[in-house]
Structure 1
Amino acid sequence: MTGSVTIDGVDISTFGMFILKGGDYDFLPFPDRKEPEQNNWHDYNGVDVDLSEIYFKEKRVIVRFYIANDTTQDFLSNLNAFYTLISKPGYRQLYSRDFDKTFSLRYVSCPDYSHKGGLYKYGRKRGELTVEFSMDAPIQLFTRPTLLQPVGGRASITHVQINGYDLAAFGIIVNEAYNTVLNLPAVKPPLIRSFERRSGLLVHTPADIAYETKQIVINCTMTANTRAEFYTNYEALFNNLTLTTAAVSLRTYEGTEDCYYTAMQGFKKLRPFGSRIIVEFSLVLTAIAPGMRVYVLGTTDNRILLTIAGQAIKI
């Protein structure tokens, strides 16, 4: 474990510590987008949204550490040294050898600690710590904004394309998208009046129904043979999703819907990055003016078409 994680140059293995399996999932996910400026007109589908600028929320990073020492004196000394290290003013520089990346983080809290091994008894003392950091610079990992073209990728195409690139070019398998793509959005509420001395509601139903926005979730598994390939494709995917030149457009057999990137959810690392890389995540898009679609499955081409910046995405 020596050198696997350092904080401000201090190897935490000298404290008898390491990051638990599954305790480092929050370092890499795309940040959530700050909601763009928009108007929600009552009689129009979705929203009128300004996508000419894009900003992101800070990231909440939860890291789960493990500490173990043979004596009470060593255990308490190392635990206190670790607490002192992470809670110093300013930002900590945490390096992960598995990711081969350094993350700039600000300590927030230690919301959970679980201890085993009595301090007044012989035997090994062990603790599991959950530490919350804030990544105040949420796009610090994405330093090449002009990088759009993926490298390597998979031979088996997904029929989902972004800016002319099938998602397989990014090393992605699309696991599921239909559950949200085919779901009907909610209607915008009509003018409603309620009276204390009248049962039910008095509703003015408009001649035409307008629909709210809806979210579209694309569940993905992403693979890469090397860290370099993964980081290139991961950053290219982020850049393609966050272009400000045009909305993400969702095109179906019966029509077209424009969307914008909202968030990434459920990021998991399924293998160590020192070997073949496999991660899972879900991309969340917000449909701007979804409307109602009647999906007719054709005999020769029954695929749903997504487009970003006017380019077809086929599912």
Structure 2
Amino acid sequence: MIKDSISGVTLRDNFGAFITSGLDDLLRMHDTKERFLHDWGDENGIEFDRKAPVYFKEKRVTLEIVMMGNSEADFWNKYKGFFTLITKPGTFRLYLDELSRSFYCYYHSSTSFRKLTYLKHEEYEGIGVKFNLVLIEPEPSFWKQFTFLTDKNGNRLITTDNYALIVTE
């Protein structure tokens, strides 16, 4: 079972939400910030500081999300709960089961909203929408270190709801 989550809250179980595309954006490396360089008019190429450390820009990530509810009330509760969670101040931890990685992001916008079903209709039990969720990863998450709690044999300690215990800064 997929356990994608935001700040420990499982997307599927709590919001009826699935990430259908966009993981490639998260795997893409951040662009570097501009280095100090000079382009001499009478020489080939450029001259730059070869010993200066490399710094990275923030990265904009677009994830396609499908969100489903069992009824109109269920859909709106999930919708409001999802956007309340991701629009809190600061960053949130987006854990993606397929990548076995966490990314620290903040909400930027949601675009391309499409209804998959009627939002209000007696004949349909399920309600669904598809949209693009645009997040900003302010700094590369691959630099962040994670520590998993393990037993004496090195096996990760797992909670009763099948999550590995993780310690972050």
- Shorter-chain TM-score: what band? 0.7 to 0.9
1:4 & 1:114 partners in 2: Cα distance?
25
Runs of 4+ off more than 4 Å: none
Structure 1 partner of 2:158:
none
TM-superposed CA distance for 1:143, in Å, is: 5.7
Structure 2 spans left out of the alignment, 5+ residues: 146-169
Q: Give matches, 1:102-113, under 5 Å.
A: 102-113=102-113
Structure 2 partner of 1:128:
130
Structure 1 partner of 2:28:
29
Is the contact between residue 56 and residue 139 of structure 2 (CA under 8 Å) also seen in structure 1? no
SS at match of 2:24: coil
Structure 1 spans left out of the alignment, 5+ residues: 145-315
Q: Give matches, 1:1-315, under 5 Å.
A: 1=1, 3-13=2-12, 14-20=14-20, 22-53=21-52, 54-122=54-122, 123=124, 124-138=126-140, 140-142=141-143
1:52 & 1:111 partners in 2: Cα distance?
41
SS at match of 1:62: strand
Aligned residues: 141
- Superposed CA RMSD in Å reads 1.6
Letter in 2 for 1:36: R
Is the contact between residue 22 and residue 61 of structure 2 (CA under 8 Å) also seen in structure 1? no
TM-superposed CA distance for 1:130, in Å, is: 0.8
Is the contact between residue 60 and residue 135 of structure 1 (CA under 8 Å) also seen in structure 2? yes
Letter in 1 for 2:47: D
1:31 & 1:23 partners in 2: Cα distance?
15
Is the contact between residue 108 and residue 132 of structure 1 (CA under 8 Å) also seen in structure 2? yes
SS at match of 2:139: coil
Q: How does the TM-score come out when normalised to structure 1?
A: 0.43
Is the contact between residue 87 and residue 107 of structure 2 (CA under 8 Å) also seen in structure 1? yes
Which structure has more RCO (C-alpha within 8 Å, separation ≥ 6)?
A: 2
Give the stretch that moved more between structures: 120-129 or 93-102: 120-129
Is the contact between residue 3 and residue 97 of structure 2 (CA under 8 Å) also seen in structure 1? yes
Is the contact between residue 24 and residue 64 of structure 1 (CA under 8 Å) also seen in structure 2? no
TM-superposed CA distance for 1:94, in Å, is: 0.9
Is the contact between residue 23 and residue 65 of structure 1 (CA under 8 Å) also seen in structure 2? no
Is the contact between residue 67 and residue 126 of structure 1 (CA under 8 Å) also seen in structure 2? yes
SS at match of 2:23: coil
Letter in 1 for 2:139: A
Structure 2 partner of 1:286:
none
TM-superposed CA distance for 1:119, in Å, is: 2.1
TM-superposed CA distance for 1:117, in Å, is: 1.8
SS at match of 2:26: coil
Letter in 2 for 1:133: L
Q: Measured at CA, do residues 81 and 41 of structure 1 come closer, stay the same or move farther in structure 2, by a change above 3 Å?
A: same
2:98 & 2:35 partners in 1: Cα distance?
35
TM-superposed CA distance for 1:70, in Å, is: 2.5
Is the contact between residue 114 and residue 129 of structure 1 (CA under 8 Å) also seen in structure 2? yes
Structure 2 partner of 1:250:
none
Q: How does the TM-score come out when normalised to structure 2?
A: 0.77
Structure 1 partner of 2:155:
none
1:94 & 1:107 partners in 2: Cα distance?
11
**Identity percentage over the alignment?**
30
1:110 & 1:30 partners in 2: Cα distance?
22
